[in-house]
């Protein structure tokens, strides 16, 4: 039962409580401008202390200290000063401003108005900072309006909320994120909602009362502890991401929030993360209140090492399993590669093993990648590569900053390939999904994808993002399962042999995006967005091309996007 899982975590927290000895930080929400800055600093400085950026979200205290060190080195290292542009310096100052509770710079803490607690620091609406208690609160707003060609109803996003973070007695960190949302997405997103019975990235939802509109709330929150000098623990309800790319073929933050316990150990050149999660099985009742949805569980171990000053290599193992709404305590063992123990109890669980790596080269480039195997069977892998049991995925990517010497213009290229039936399993409690949504790549499986992204910041407050996403996918044909949809069981497969990437109803999708954002005040953006999506399939032919133009205002929030 869920209470059994929570009770066990409570016992574990009680056992560890005597060693709570250090101040504990909250985490930086994914999708914010901070992630672009930290990417650039990691590549430009080749600092090994920034090498563990494949584990998201980021620890706020740790990365603030790293940025503060880099900022101070500008005055003593002429080589570093030459590599950092004026915009880089500005972005570092804004980063430190938004994380002022962890800086040693008093100039970032000075009150800006006559009100003592309001605008106490430049980045926060409300802040209290005393010896034993720190809290800040900021409103969140995302109001966008748009139009899609050939569709006579306006598209819109209306989000209001609040984000609160703080710490108590330098022992416990906490954060709470709450939004109320109403939206009408593009038509291809509406089709996705009807197919999966879920709103992308959301949990429980209900019809809005207008045609094709949805209403939902989003709640995140966690508490964090420093249980030893090198060990952090976080218990909460949020999202996690493993990888260095735009996508992750292992675990992404595409689906909705989930209950989790995370233990992160950072020692010498090693970073070891243990993640335990409670997820929701696929079902047809997502939009209905008053139903206790069936649970399933996830355990992941990820070990990475800074092999050199420029190379980071990681290995991971994970398992998705169901036990009739209770956690299997064998999986609380934090030892990497516990597969033999799993086999010893006759477990039918869905295991995944993998490797990831990244290399920073010449302080201009980063090469990165992932390879993961879903129930790896060596005999089939080497002798029959088109058999359905060859379930694996891989990613290759390149980041190139200051392209051709143009400051603050960055290029990212990425390729993702996922074999048919990867993420599928023999039971709904063991497939790689959460709340009727893919748990890894949002497209699912049985596809080849190419991504190109150009990010530019030509002046301090102007952000430009141009992106092209193209993928070729073999979708289910005439009701036959050909391995694209991870919600379906692999026992339903149409065939077992001659399964290539793209087998089935071959569908080709091209998504072009141009985004302009101007920051009129700290974390307050005016947005203009243009999206163009085209789709063709072998059986259905050419779908109507969608051109979507939208704009609005966004405060203390990341964009909401539908990149699939």
User: Tokens 């209905």 map to which residue?
Assistant: 288
The answer to whether residues 331 and 302 touch, using CB atoms and an 8 Å cutoff, is no
* Lowest pLDDT segment from 87-96, 284-293, 368-377: 284-293
pLDDT above 60 (res 513): yes
The model carries a pTM of 0.92
What does the block give as tokens for 195? 């197919």
Please give the mean pLDDT across all residues of the chain.
Answer: 89
Find how far residue 242's CA is from the centre of its chain.
7
The pLDDT of residue 292 is 84
pLDDT digits (tens, 9 = 90+) for 56-65: 999 999 999 9
Q: How far apart are CA 155 and CA 396, in angstroms?
A: 35
Residue 330 φ/ψ, nearest 5 degrees? -60, -30
The answer to whether residues 424 and 453 touch, using CB atoms and an 8 Å cutoff, is no
Mean pLDDT calculated for residue range 165-182: 94
The pLDDT of residue 109 is 56
Q: How far apart are CA 495 and CA 423, in angstroms?
A: 17
* Lowest pLDDT segment from 105-119, 311-325, 484-498: 105-119
* Lowest pLDDT segment from 122-136, 156-170, 405-419: 122-136
Residue closest to 43 by CA, chosen among 414, 363, 454: 363
Mean pLDDT calculated for residue range 405-434: 96
The string of DSSP letters for 411-463 reads EEEEEEEE-TTTT--SSTTTSSEETTEESS-TT-SSEEEEEEEEEEEEETTEE
* SS3 call for 521: strand
Q: With cut-offs at 50, 70 and 90, classify the pLDDT of residue 197.
A: very high
* SS3 call for 147: strand
* Lowest pLDDT segment from 67-81, 151-165, 243-257, 360-374: 67-81
* Lowest pLDDT segment from 97-106, 458-467, 487-496: 97-106
Residue closest to 398 by CA, chosen among 441, 369, 356: 369
Q: With cut-offs at 50, 70 and 90, classify the pLDDT of residue 241.
A: very high
The answer to whether residues 126 and 138 touch, using CB atoms and an 8 Å cutoff, is yes
pLDDT above 90 (res 284): no
Mean pLDDT calculated for residue range 268-287: 88
DSSP run (H or E) holding 237 = strand 231-238
Q: How far apart are CA 436 and CA 284, in angstroms?
A: 9
The pLDDT of residue 119 is 56
pLDDT digits (tens, 9 = 90+) for 311-332: 999 999 999 999 877 888 888 8
2-555: CATH superfamily: Porin (2.40.160.10)
**How many CA atoms within 13 Å lie on the side-chain side of 192?**
21
The pLDDT of residue 484 is 96
Mean pLDDT calculated for residue range 298-312: 94
Structural domain boundaries in the chain:
2-555
Dihedral sign (CA 145, 147, 152, 157): negative
Find how far residue 390's CA is from the centre of its chain.
26
pLDDT digits (tens, 9 = 90+) for 466-478: 999 999 999 998 8
What does the block give as tokens for 247? 């996508």
Q: With cut-offs at 50, 70 and 90, classify the pLDDT of residue 122.
A: low
Between 145 and 342, name the one with better pLDDT: 145
10 Å CB burial of residue 114 (0-12, 13-18, 19+) is exposed
């Amino acid at each position: 039962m869920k209470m059994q899982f929570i009770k066990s975590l409570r016992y574990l927290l009680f056992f560890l409580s005597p060693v709570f000895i250090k101040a504990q930080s909250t985490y930086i929400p994914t999708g914010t401008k901070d992630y672009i800055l930290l990417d650039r600093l990691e590549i430009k400085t080749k600092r090994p202390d920034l090498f563990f950026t494949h584990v998201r979200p980021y620890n706020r205290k740790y990365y603030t200290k790293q940025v503060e060190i880099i900022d101070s080195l500008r005055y003593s290292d002429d080589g570093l000063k030459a590599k950092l542009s004026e915009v880089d310096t500005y972005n570092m100052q804004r980063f430190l401003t938004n994380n002022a509770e962890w800086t040693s710079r008093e100039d970032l803490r000075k009150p800006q108005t006559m009100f003592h607690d309001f605008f106490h620091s430049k980045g926060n609406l409300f802040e209290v900072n005393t010896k034993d208690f720190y809290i800040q609160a900021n409103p969140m707003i995302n109001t966008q309006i748009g139009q899609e060609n050939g569709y006579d109803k306006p598209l819109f996003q209306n989000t209001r909320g609040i984000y609160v973070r703080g710490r108590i007695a330098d022992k416990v960190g906490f954060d709470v994120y709450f939004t109320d949302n109403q939206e009408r997405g593009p038509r291809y997103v509406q089709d996705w909602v009807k197919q999966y019975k879920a709103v992308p990235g959301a949990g429980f939802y209900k019809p809005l009362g207008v045609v094709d509109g949805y209403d939902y709330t989003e709640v995140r929150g966690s508490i964090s502890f420093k249980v030893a000098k090198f060990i952090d623990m976080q218990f909460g309800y949020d999202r996690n991401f493993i990888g260095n790319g735009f996508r992750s073929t292992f675990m992404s933050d595409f689906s909705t929030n989930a209950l989790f316990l995370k233990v992160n150990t950072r020692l010498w050149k090693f970073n070891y993360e243990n993640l335990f999660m409670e997820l929701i099985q696929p079902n047809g009742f997502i939009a209905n209140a008053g139903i206790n949805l069936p649970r399933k569980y996830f355990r992941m171990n990820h070990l990475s090492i800074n092999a050199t000053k420029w190379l980071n290599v990681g290995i991971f193992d994970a398992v998705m399993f169901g036990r009739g709404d209770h956690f299997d305590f064998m999986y609380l063992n934090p030892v990497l590669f516990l597969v033999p123990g799993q086999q010893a109890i006759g477990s039918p669980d869905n295991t995944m093993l993998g490797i990831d790596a990244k290399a920073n080269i010449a302080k201009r480039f980063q090469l990165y990648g992932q390879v993961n195997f879903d129930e790896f069977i060596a005999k089939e892998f080497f002798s029959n590569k088109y058999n359905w049991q060859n379930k694996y995925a891989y990613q290759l990517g390149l980041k190139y900053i200051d392209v051709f010497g143009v400051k603050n213009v960055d290029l990212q290229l990425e390729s993702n390939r996922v074999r048919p039936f990867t993420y599928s399993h023999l039971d709904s409690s063991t497939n790689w999904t959460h709340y009727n949504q893919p748990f890894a790549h949002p497209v699912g499986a049985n596809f080849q994808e190419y991504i190109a992204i150009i990010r530019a910041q030509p002046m301090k407050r102007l952000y430009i993002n141009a992106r092209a996403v193209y993928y070729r996918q073999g979708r289910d044909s005439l009701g036959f399962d050909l391995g694209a949809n991870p919600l379906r069981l692999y026992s339903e497969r149409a065939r077992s042999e001659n399964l290539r990437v793209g087998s089935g109803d071959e569908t080709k999708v091209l998504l072009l995006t141009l985004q302009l954002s101007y920051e009129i005040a700290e974390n307050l953006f005016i947005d203009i967005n243009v999206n163009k999506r085209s789709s063709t399939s072998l059986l259905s032919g050419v779908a109507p091309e969608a051109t979507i133009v939208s704009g609005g205002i966004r405060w203390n929030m990341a964009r909401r996007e539908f990149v699939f």
